Amino acid sequence: MHDQPDQLEPETLMREISDLEGRIGELRQAAGVPEPDLRSTLEAALVELELALTVLRTMGSDQVGEHGGSAAAENERRVLRTVFQDAPVPLFLLDRNTNVRRVNRQAAALLGTPAGYVSGKQFTAFCDMATRAALRSQLAAVVRTGLRRRVQVRFLGRDHPVDAVVTLARVWIRGDPDPMVMVAAGPTNTPMNDEGPASEQGRPERTAPARGASARNASARNASARSAATRSASGEAGPAREGASLARAPHGAPPDDEAVATIVHRMDVLATASELLLDEPVFNETVAIRRCARLLAAELADWAFIDLTGVHGGPGTSAQAGVHAAGTAPPLRRQVVMGPEDEHAVEAARMLEELDPVQGSLSHTVYVTRQSALRAHVEDLDVLGTCPDGQPVCGKIGATSVLSVPIEDGDHAIGTITLAASGEYGPFDLMDLGVVQRLGRYLALVIRAARLYRRRAEVAATLQAGLLPKTLPAIPGVTVAAKYLTATNGSEVGGDFYDVFRTENGWGMVLGDVCGKGEDAAAVTATARHCTRLAARWKSHPGDVLGIVNEALLDEDRFVTAVMAGLTVETERVVVSLGTAGHPPAVVVRADGVIRTTSRGGVPLGLFEDFEPGLDTIELAVGDTLILHSDGVLEACNMTRQEFGQERLLEALAGHAGETPAGMLAAVERALLEFCDSDLRDDVSMLALRVEAPSLD
């Protein structure tokens, strides 16, 4: 190998200019990353100016290098390989595009990865984000000028960053048309300091950034040495990295202990995730994804992104993947971004929450293909997309290692989990990927259950709305109010119903409760309600109406309890005829506050052919109020399983007797929810009617 004069033929010149533009753009981006190394960036900018000046001075020169024969070139290569591999210091051989051609054993040990894994990747991918742009410029200067340079860098070691001073030298290898760069890493056990000059000066020593609640602290990560053999934490087999050992033990700790610590930590993450995702009486999609992202950002990564599609799911089987990749898959929408808690990160997270994954980004590709992806060392900073200001997302958040897994519900991909880390505690590996894959499946099951629950609740609400009157009719001389409360944890349509309607000789009110819940109960509810309305058109007495409804329900598998009031409205009074079918009795609140209950009686509808209702007749004067209610009021329980009961109902009504009918029902609702701590085990329905004084109009 030997130095060779510069060659600036037209093609070479255009390439130099294009490369110069790209490096200048990277320097601009480097100034905006978290904890920017402004000193090195400034020095690199000066180097670029020197390089541009050199190009201008030598423009048009026609120097051409000469190379020896093939035998000499082969001998030189053999000597190079021998010296290269046996060198006592870490050595990297780079091509002019800074791709790693070869590394020796010392360099592979420095990075904690097999030599075959490093080859072919960008050399700067193994350095922290603040180093990259300046280092790239220094490498370009070495290629262009042939002058050696010393630069301080921070390598992304397997378990923790490694500070080093590297010497960059240009070499020519016979048979290769382009120059290469030899990189020799100097002392690696001395932390960075801010002493010494310029590009031979380094950055001040940086501390690791915080990682959420537990800060993915150094003790957890260093004690949890990486395993590249299998995804054993998730119970799945997977390909091992070439030559990777089961675990590395920093500071001389026994490898077996470190492997156990790694597995225990990942299992703790999975166990915690299970508890967080399932610790809800009702599945809630929003709560689940936020808990999942927060856990991942605290324990495994610096940043966690969760993106989801709509309720119909995304790509299905592999055969469908091509169709979806053509653009028919539902789009991914960013749901949550969790990162560090410093001011810069919070502002970045707010911006990234509005940035949906685009086609070509890692998250979108994983979603479409349903194949997990691991980028242990990020080479393309655009892998997670680009910010609105044109800066790559990885550059914005300082991400040097990323992974992404699909969230699959068994049939479709419904989203992705993407993690990004700065490399302060080592890049992601296959064990991390396996853990996140398992967590993705947990999250998918919770999301599927939550969406199913939400759909059932929506159907139940729609059906329930169809079983209740949209509005109550206006009855001259009286005021009518109603209240309906669904069970707290119910996702099925309830069996309660009420109605107010015209009868043959006046008005009717009915309130009933069908045994059970769900679609079958809803069908019986609809039959009972509409049959009552229809029968009241030609039968005047509630007992007769309930008898007809009983016949209609004999073929059903469910019984119904009900109370019906036939109203004869007269001046300053209402005569009420009551028919009861196994239902709680009506309550009368007199204008002076006295409370009475009507007589009980009757059997539920739909049980026996020889039906006999309970009958009663009462008169309501001005200011008197009639209350009909379901057994959900009386049977509501508190934490000790004590029922609300009739006495508490009567006390709540008596305490608010002077309020409007709607106010009285609202008072009962407040007392009921306070008693049971808002945990209603059954639906509640109430109707109230009050006789009003004649108006002067």
Structure tokens at 182: 């030899």
Domain 10-200 grouped into CATH 3.40.50.880: no
Point out the least confidently predicted range of 1-10, 191-200, 566-575: 191-200
> Taking the model in full, what pTM does it have?
0.57
Q: Which of 461, 527, 460 is nearest to 499 (CA)?
A: 527
pLDDT at 479: 95
Query: Tens digits of per-residue pLDDT, 51-94?
Result: 665 655 555 444 434 444 555 556 555 655 666 776 777 889 89
Inter-residue contact 484 to 684 (CB < 8 Å): yes
Round to whole Å and give the CA distance between 12 and 178. Answer: 10
Measured distance CA(329)–CA(203) in Å, rounded: 47
pLDDT confidence of residue 238? 34
Write down the pLDDT at residue 603: 92
554 or 240, greater pLDDT: 554
Q: What is the average pLDDT across 335-350?
A: 91
Cβ–Cβ < 8 Å for 435, 233: yes
Mean pLDDT of 474-491: 85
Rounded distance between C-alpha atoms, residue 350 and residue 355, angstroms: 9
d(CA 420, CA 376): 10
* Cα 293 from Cα 304, distance rounded (Å): 6
Span 630-659, average pLDDT: 92
Q: List, by residue range, all CATH 3.30.450.40 domains of the chain.
A: 218-455
pLDDT at 280: 59
The tens digit of pLDDT for each residue in 99-125 reads: 998 888 889 888 888 888 898 999 999
Rounded to whole angstroms, how far apart are CA atoms 541 and 503? 9
Rg from Cα positions in the chain: 38
pLDDT digits (tens, 9 = 90+) for 129-152: 888 888 988 998 888 888 888 888
| Helix residue ranges per DSSP H, 69-128 | 70-86, 105-111, 115-118
Helix (H, G, I), strand (E, B) or coil at 579: strand
Instruction: Give the pLDDT mean for 236-245.
Output: 33
Residue with more model confidence, 400 or 248: 400
Give the pLDDT mean for 353-380. Answer: 92
Indicate if the pLDDT at residue 201 is higher than 50: no
State the pLDDT at residue 25. 72
Mean pLDDT value of segment 276-295: 76
* Beta strands, E only, 95-159: 100-103, 149-155
**pLDDT tops 80 at residue 252:** no
> Is the pLDDT score of 456 beyond 80?
no
3-state secondary structure 231-270: EHHHCECCCCCCCCCCCCCHHHCCHHHHHHHHHHHHHHHH
The residue with greater pLDDT, 168 or 2, is: 168
Superfamily for 468-691? PPM-type phosphatase domain (3.60.40.10)
pLDDT averaged over every residue in the chain: 78
Whether residue 228 contacts residue 244, with contact meaning beta carbons closer than 8 Å, is answered with yes
pLDDT recorded at residue 246: 30
Domain 218-455 has CATH 3.30.450.40: yes
3-state secondary structure at position 173: coil
- How far apart, in Å, are the Cα atoms of 676 and each of 87, 296, 484, 491, 665? 77, 37, 16, 19, 17
Collapsed DSSP state (helix, strand, coil) of residue 121: coil
According to the model, what pLDDT value does residue 382 have?
92
Kindly tell me if the per-residue pLDDT of 223 is higher than 60: no
**Confidence class for position 460, pLDDT limits 50, 70, 90:** low
Backbone angles phi, psi at 577, to 5 degrees: -100, 125
Comparing 693 with 32, which gets the higher pLDDT? 693
Task: Report CA dihedral (65, 69, 75, 77) to the nearest 10 degrees.
Answer: 40
pLDDT of residue 330: 83
E runs forming strands in 266-351: 303-308, 333-338
Q: What residues contact residue 7 under an 8 Å CB cut-off, 6+ apart?
A: 63, 64, 65
The pLDDT score that the predictor gives to residue 72 is 53
Helix (H, G, I), strand (E, B) or coil at 448: helix
The pLDDT of residue 221: 40
pLDDT of residue 14: 66
- pLDDT for 123 equals 92
Confidence at 237, pLDDT banded by 50, 70, 90: very low
pLDDT of 232 = 32
Domain with CATH 3.60.40.10 in the chain: 468-691
Tokens linked to 185: 């890493």
Q: How far apart are CA 523 and CA 534, in angstroms?
A: 16
CA 189 to centroid of chain Cα atoms: 40
d(CA 167, CA 182): 8
Whether residue 671 contacts residue 484, with contact meaning beta carbons closer than 8 Å, is answered with no
Helical ranges in 398-492 per DSSP H: 430-467
Q: What is the pLDDT of residue 298?
A: 85
According to the per-residue pLDDT averaged within each range, which of 58-72, 196-210, 261-275, 278-292 is highest? 278-292
Q: Does residue 271 surpass a pLDDT of 80? A: no
The answer to whether the beta carbons of residues 525 and 552 sit under 8 Å apart is no
pLDDT band at 668; cut points 50, 70, 90: very high
